[in-house]
Chain A
Amino acid sequence: MKQRIQIMKQSTLTDDEIEAYQDFDSLIKQAHSTSNKWVYYAGGAIAITAVVVSIWWKGQQEIPTLSDKANQEILPNTPVVNKPEKIVLADSLLAVVPEKGALPEKKTEKVDDKASGENKLKLVGYKQAEPAGGYERLYNYFNQELHYPESALRDSIQGVVVIDFVINIFGKPEQIRIQQSLDKACDTEAIRVIGNMEPWLPASLNGKPVSARVSVPLTFQLLKPIQE
């Protein structure tokens, strides 16, 4: 790329000149027209999806009954279920540390999942995977084990790592992968903590254990210094 270097005595632009180009109303109009396009695209996509689903539905003679409890994906290739259902589970955990504290004191807390109880699928005879000691014990484990990485602290990195993993038929987490990355150190920490979890009670269908994929968002957030 060619570059042209030009040294100026002072800035050639005044505030008034720039303000003449400022037009928030036009920006809003453009934004609306852009979002309308997406509505059309989304409408088209939904229509196509509906057609595909209806064709698939007709082809399924032995489809399990749906109910509203299960919130994990049953993996394909299990001996019992042929078709995977959707992932819905999302229990969120919040890793919080003071920004300038001597100790990166950390607490985790459960964040309400708006989606819980809504639009979730349940198969009759299906029991979802759950931590052997219950969720309370799992959160305590995260409280103790999830550390804010030093590099993330230094760079004031905050945000969410969404991690998913499979609880296999023996209750062990495997196929751990990052769904939404935050930064390398936070991702690595999330993977470490998930990998070291105690065994879970595996999901089961009609009494037989099946693998299930679980998705968990972990929030890394810096607290304001106490003196402020």
Chain B
Amino acid sequence: MVDTERLNNKPDIEQEVVLIRKAVDNPAEFSPLYDKYFKEIFRYIFKRMGEKELTADLTQQVFLNALTNLGKYQFRGAPFAAWLYRIASNQCMDYFRKNKRIRHVLIDESALINLVDELTSDQTIEEWHQRLPQILELLTEPELQLIELRFFEARPFKEVAEILDLTENNAKVRTYRVLDKMKKLFVQQ
């Protein structure tokens, strides 16, 4: 389920670090990173905003923030994408805070299966599928982010941790706590 290659492809990561160093002095060198990650970041934001035009504006803003703050980027072993996702996540939260908009959670049906598999293996599968949207609505924002990143976007814990500024172990512990909470909500309702 989890795309472990994303983190393990070291030559790619090293190449990115070289590009980032060059882009600090010459912003035109940022182009390959922009091309590589634009679609990913666009989809990430679209799942939370649900509107294309708004998503396009916010995505451009994410890359602008990244480009103007490249000098502050510190390589900590995770790919550059994790840093972009963190900026995107903060950008979305800022937008919701300032505009008091409804937060969207768009889920591919296939991604939902990952989560339900983690939650149950018995005859309640069908019921889980039906009631999951209501249960997700009861989660807090940080809890929802963990579920989205881990199960709907199939990220390794290391990357989840990097995006949410947690340790890898802490990301695991918190994710399993959220799953426990969801199971309790399922029984209670």
Contact = CB atoms under 8 A, between A and B. Distances in A.
Interface of A: 1-13, 15, 17-19, 21-24, 26-28, 30-32, 34-35, 151, 154-160, 182, 222, 224, 228
Contacts of A26: 60
Interface in B149-174: 158, 161, 167-169
Interface stretch (B68-76, B119-127, B175-183): B68-76
Contact of B108 (A2, A8, A159, A160): A8
Contacts, number: 116
Nearest to B48: A3
Contact of B68 (A35, A155, A159): A35
Given A13-B43, A159-B76, A3 B103 contact: yes
B64 A31 contact: yes
A7 B28 contact: no
A224 B39 contact: no
A160 B67 CA distance: 21
Contacts of A160: 74
Question: Per DSSP, are chain B's interface residues mostly helix, strand or loop, or mixed?
Answer: helix
Nearest to A160: B74
Contacts of B168: 154-155
Interface of B: 10, 27-28, 30-31, 34-35, 38-39, 42-43, 46, 50, 52, 55-56, 59-60, 63-64, 67-68, 74-78, 96, 102-110, 112, 132-134, 136-137, 141, 144, 158, 161, 167-169
B77 A27 contact: no
Contact of A24 (B10, B34, B110): B34
B42 A13 contact: yes
Q: 7 closest pairs, A vs B, by CB?
A: A156-B77, A21-B56, A5-B133, A159-B74, A3-B103, A2-B102, A5-B105
